[in-house]
């Protein structure tokens, strides 16, 4: 019976996952414990400040904000879970390709892929509804149906984006004009982020959309902390773009090493990229802020600039701290540090002084890791 | 001395493998073939020589200078093709070669690019994303990158794998053209590729380098035998 063979493949696949988890357990536990400790510390330090801000928001608005965040997370589940499903169906080498080459029937392999995809989706959505969806919001059956299907549709969209396009030709990325080595290193990455790297482009697009959404909410007199929270989200997405480019770079980093690119040059290139992104998107955030709120609280609106810019500015300081080829770890690190610094800056302008200290310390800590990564 | 290794040592505590201590002197003008079983340490040796990996102890001197991985003056005299060639997926061969030439600070980009693409028969796919190119096509781009600056020291790790007969001939011609002021080191498992090109041969065996004696004076067929003997010593050979 091919279904039993499919189930056996499902068993092998999941056993493989747990073996890998056990192999990396030390590192994964360190990351998990550090994250929990940092989040706990964050809650402890900023508890009073956050409670004050929360109290200022009427209860009905608090409920809608919580529901809106629960909805955003639900929408994100689809695209997030699409990545492992895509790997399952397409990656080489994989259990699927091994089974196929070993003579396993295509029907059994297809059933295995379907069952495993369903397991992944069921797990992700169960965890969501159990820990976020139900505790954070009240949902009618129609809204569950609507948002759940939208989330699945976004997942399908990501799968379509992931699909290898038929070979097409590219226009030249660089021109033939003479330039310095650092400028060439910069232009190579900068143009890839905007013209070639689909994930980077998607992140920047969503970040800009979030900024527009924030402007629309401010026009509707939504509470300002919500705009700050959205600025943090869009800042994190902006930081994701160079982080995904770095992951792409690390695939073929032997060439830059062969051509004697130094650690300082490489970090300086990412610094330049991140500063440009930070200033560009920071300015859009603040312009949208002033356009929608007016000049009533200018010093508060200016915080939108700093908080949006903060996240991409952190990337050059953390890019060689853990694993340059793993954007998920970098994004998590940036999210945690950004949450701390962003909230501190929101609480008091003086916290801006922490930024250069944190950046200098982190850059020193990763000195020369370009050739070790 | 073009390449000088002195007491070079690299240890991998997790696997228990040790490369070295190695001592080696190579002069310009020679073409060295490097053989060895899988996992013997050939790729590690190449990564140490090219500054892609740091040794635990010992010295690497190239053109009389100590290896400094971020010295452009030194690295521009070295060409390297890694065994596991990874190229960026979302750029084309045209882009990558332009990028490399700009980093090498060349002037006549258009002429050089045209020549290198033609030499490696890559013009017809020069604008295709590298992610959509076959392994052999990517290998030719890798060889173009390793050789486009006509380096004094050329290190090729398994350059023949994935190439078709036509491009194997292109590579053989390129190696044969290299001048007396240049040093070439090639690792391969196919004896016939290097038997006619290399004037010196060494094996890497359990982390140690051993010279293949009599290689230089041997004929093509004798060299094939010599190489076979490194893997199957006569007393272990079974009669057909």
List, for residues B126-170, the tens digit of each pLDDT value: 999 998 888 999 999 999 999 998 899 999 999 998 888 899 999
Residue to mutate among B14, B73, B83, B88, with most A CBs inside 10 A, is B88
- pLDDT tier, B234 (very low <50, low <70, confident <90, very high otherwise): low
Q: The dihedral of CA A271, A272, A273, A275: what is its sign? A: positive
Give residue-wise pLDDT tens across range B166-213: 999 999 899 888 888 889 999 988 878 888 888 888 888 888 888 888
**pTM for the complete prediction?**
0.83
Residue A315 has which token pair?
């990337």
The residues facing B154 across adjacent strands are B79, B184
Residue to mutate among A180, A181, A183, A254, with most B CBs inside 10 A, is A254
Give residue-wise pLDDT tens across range B7-16: 888 888 888 8
Tell me what pLDDT residue A136 has.
84
Q: Do B50 and A258 touch (CB under 8 A)?
A: yes
DSSP annotation string for A28-94: HHHHHHHHHHHHHHHHHHHHHHHHHHHHTS-HHHHHHHHHHHHHHHHHHHHHHHHHHHHHHHH-SS-
CA distance A197 to chain B (A): 7
Chain A contact set for B100 (CB, 8 A): 255, 259
CA distance B37 to chain A (A): 24
Residue to mutate among B46, B52, B72, B91, with most A CBs inside 10 A, is B91
Q: Do B89 and A174 touch (CB under 8 A)?
A: no
- Cross-chain CB nearest to B52 (options A248, A254, A262): A254
Q: Which residues of A touch B (CB under 8 A)?
A: 164, 167-174, 176, 178-179, 181, 184-185, 188, 192, 196-197, 248-249, 251-252, 254-255, 257-263, 371-372
Q: Do A255 and B104 touch (CB under 8 A)?
A: no
Say if CB A280 and CB A330 are below 8 A apart: no
Give residue-wise pLDDT tens across range B48-74: 888 888 888 888 999 888 888 888 888
The closest of A33, A73, A89, A83 to A247, measured between CA atoms, is A83
Please name the residue ranges forming H helices in chain A: 2-23, 25-55, 59-90, 95-101, 106-128, 134-136, 141-162, 181-191, 198-219, 224-251, 253-258, 263-293, 298-318, 327-347, 354-365
Chain A contact set for B104 (CB, 8 A): 259
Q: Do B88 and A185 touch (CB under 8 A)?
A: no
CA distance B76 to chain A (A): 7
Nearest C-alpha in B relative to A188: B99
Q: Hey, is A236 helix, strand or coil?
A: helix
Size of interface A-B (CB pairs under 8 A): 100
Neighbour tally for A29: CB within 10 Å: 10
Rounded Cα–Cα distance for residues B6 and B23 (Å): 5
Tell me what pLDDT residue B218 has.
78
For residues B232 and B28, which has the higher predicted lDDT (pLDDT)?
B28
Chain A contact set for B107 (CB, 8 A): 178
Please report, for residues A83, A118, A155, A237, the alpha-carbon distance to residue A160 in angstroms, rounded to integers and kept in the order given: 11, 18, 9, 21
Chain A contact set for B82 (CB, 8 A): 254
The closest of B103, B143, B88, B100 to A170, measured between CA atoms, is B88
Domain ranges of chain A: 1-27+62-162, 180-373
Tell me what pLDDT residue A167 has.
57
Tell me what pLDDT residue A163 has.
67
Q: What is the pLDDT along chain A (373 residues), one digit of tens a residue?
A: 578 888 999 998 899 888 888 887 887 788 788 888 888 888 888 888 888 888 888 888 888 888 888 898 999 899 889 988 988 888 877 888 888 888 888 888 999 999 999 999 999 999 999 999 888 888 888 888 999 999 999 998 888 877 656 558 888 988 888 889 899 999 999 999 999 888 899 899 999 999 999 999 889 888 888 899 999 999 999 999 999 999 999 988 888 888 888 888 889 999 999 999 999 999 999 999 999 988 888 888 899 999 999 999 999 988 888 778 888 888 988 998 898 888 889 888 888 888 888 888 887 877 777 776 6
DSSP annotation string for chain B: --EEEEEEEEEETTTTEEEEEEEEEE-TT-EEEEEE-TTSSHHHHHHHHTTSS--SEEEEEETTEE--TT-HHHHTTEEEE-SS----TTSBHHHHHHHHHHHTT-S-HHHHHHHHHHHTT-GGGTTSBGGGS-HHHHHHHHHHHHHTT--SEEEEESTTTT--HHHHHHHHHHHHH--TT-EEEEE-S-HHHHHTT-SEEEEEETTEEEE-TTTTT--HHHHHHHHHHHHS-GGGPPP-
Whether residue B30 is predicted with pLDDT greater than 90 in this model: the reply is: no
Say if CB A124 and CB A85 are below 8 A apart: no
Rounded Cα–Cα distance for residues B99 and B110 (Å): 12
Tell me what pLDDT residue B161 has.
87
Q: Do B129 and A168 touch (CB under 8 A)?
A: yes
The closest of A363, A316, A312, A311 to A337, measured between CA atoms, is A311
- Cross-chain CB nearest to B95 (options A164, A174, A179): A174
CA distance A230 to chain B (A): 31
Domain ranges of chain B: 1-77+154-228, 86-150
Q: Do B99 and A188 touch (CB under 8 A)?
A: yes
Note every long-range contact of A95-99, with CB atoms under 8 Å and residues 24 or more positions apart, other chains counting: A95/A9, A95/A12, A95/A13, A95/A16, A99/A9
Tell me what pLDDT residue A69 has.
83
The closest of B82, B84, B77, B97 to B141, measured between CA atoms, is B97
Neighbour tally for A325: CB within 10 Å: 14
Q: Do A251 and B88 touch (CB under 8 A)?
A: yes
Cα A87 to chain center, whole Å?
18
Tell me what pLDDT residue A166 has.
55
Residue to mutate among A93, A255, A268, with most B CBs inside 10 A, is A255
**Which overall architecture, per CATH, does domain B1-77+154-228 show?**
3-Layer(aba) Sandwich (3.40)
CA distance B184 to chain A (A): 16
Q: Do B86 and A257 touch (CB under 8 A)?
A: no
Say if CB B135 and CB B163 are below 8 A apart: no
Q: Do B90 and A248 touch (CB under 8 A)?
A: yes
Tell me what pLDDT residue B215 has.
76
Q: Do B127 and A170 touch (CB under 8 A)?
A: yes
Residue A148 has which token pair?
């759940």
- Cross-chain CB nearest to B99 (options A167, A184, A258): A184
Tell me what pLDDT residue A235 has.
95
Cα A183 to chain center, whole Å?
27
């Amino acid at each position: 019976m091919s279904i039993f063979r499919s189930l056996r493949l499902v068993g092998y696949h999941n056993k493989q996952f747990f073996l890998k988890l056990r192999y990396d357990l030390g590192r994964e536990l360190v990351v998990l414990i550090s994250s929990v400790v940092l989040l706990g510390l964050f809650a402890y330090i900023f508890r009073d400040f956050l409670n004050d801000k929360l109290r200022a928001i009427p209860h009905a608005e608090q409920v809608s904000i919580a529901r809106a965040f629960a909805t955003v997370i639900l929408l994100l589940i689809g695209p997030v879970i699409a990545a492992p499903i895509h790997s399952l169906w397409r990656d080489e080498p994989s259990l699927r390709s091994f089974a196929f080459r070993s003579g396993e029937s295509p029907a059994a392999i297809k059933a295995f892929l379907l069952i495993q995809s369903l397991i992944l989706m069921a797990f992700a959505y169960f965890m969501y509804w159990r820990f976020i969806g139900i505790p954070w919001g009240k949902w009618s059956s129609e809204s569950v149906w609507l948002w759940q299907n939208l989330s699945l549709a976004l997942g399908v969209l990501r799968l379509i984006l992931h699909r290898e396009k038929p070979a097409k030709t590219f226009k030249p990325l660089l021109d033939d004009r003479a330039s310095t080595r650092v400028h060439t290193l910069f232009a190579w990455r900068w143009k890839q982020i905007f013209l070639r790297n689909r994930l980077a482009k998607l992140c920047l697009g969503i970040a800009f959309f979030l900024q527009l959404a924030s402007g629309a909410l401010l026009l509707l007199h939504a509470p300002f902390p919500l705009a700050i929270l959205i600025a943090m989200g869009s800042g994190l997405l902006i930081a994701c773009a160079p982080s995904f480019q770095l992951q792409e770079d690390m695939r073929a980093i032997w060439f830059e090493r062969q051509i004697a690119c130094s650690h300082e040059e490489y970090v300086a290139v990412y610094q330049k990229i991140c500063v440009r992104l930070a200033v560009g998107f920071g300015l859009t955030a603040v312009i949208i802020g002033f356009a929608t709120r007016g000049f009533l609280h200018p010093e508060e609106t200016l915080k939108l600039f700093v908080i949006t810019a903060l996240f991409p500015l952190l990337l050059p300081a953390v890019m060689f701290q853990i694993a340059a080829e793993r954007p998920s770890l970098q994004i998590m690190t940036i999210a945690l540090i950004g949450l701390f610094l962003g909230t501190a800056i929101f609480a008091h302008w003086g916290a801006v002084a922490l930024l250069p200290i944190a950046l200098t310390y982190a850059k020193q800590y990763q000195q020369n890791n370009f050739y070790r990564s | 001395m073009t390449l000088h290794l002195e007491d070079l040592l690299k240890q991998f505590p997790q696997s228990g493998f040790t490369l070295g201590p190695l001592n080696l002197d190579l002069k310009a003008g020679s073409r060295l073939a490097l053989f060895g079983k899988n996992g013997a340490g050939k790729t590690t040796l190449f990564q140490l020589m090219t500054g892609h990996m740091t040794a635990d102890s010992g010295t690497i001197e190239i053109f009389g200078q100590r290896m400094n991985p971020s010295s452009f003056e030194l690295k521009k005299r070295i060409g390297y093709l890694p065994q596991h060639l990874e190229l960026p997926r979302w750029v084309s061969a045209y882009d990558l070669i332009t990028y490399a030439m700009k980093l090498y600070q060349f002037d006549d980009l258009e002429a050089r690019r045209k020549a290198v693409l033609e030499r490696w028969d890559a013009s017809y796919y020069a604008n295709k994303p590298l992610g959509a190119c076959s392994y052999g096509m990517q290998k030719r781009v890798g060889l173009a990158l390793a050789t486009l600056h006509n380096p004094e020291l050329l290190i090729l790790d398994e350059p023949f794998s994935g190439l078709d007969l036509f491009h194997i001939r292109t590579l053989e011609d390129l190696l044969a053209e290299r001048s007396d002021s240049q040093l070439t080191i090639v690792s391969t498992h196919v004896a016939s590729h290097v038997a006619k090109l290399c004037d010196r041969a060494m094996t890497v065996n359990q982390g140690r380098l051993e010279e293949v004696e009599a290689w230089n004076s041997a004929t093509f067929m004798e060299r094939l035998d010599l190489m076979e003997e490194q893997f199957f010593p006569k007393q272990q050979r079974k009669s057909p």
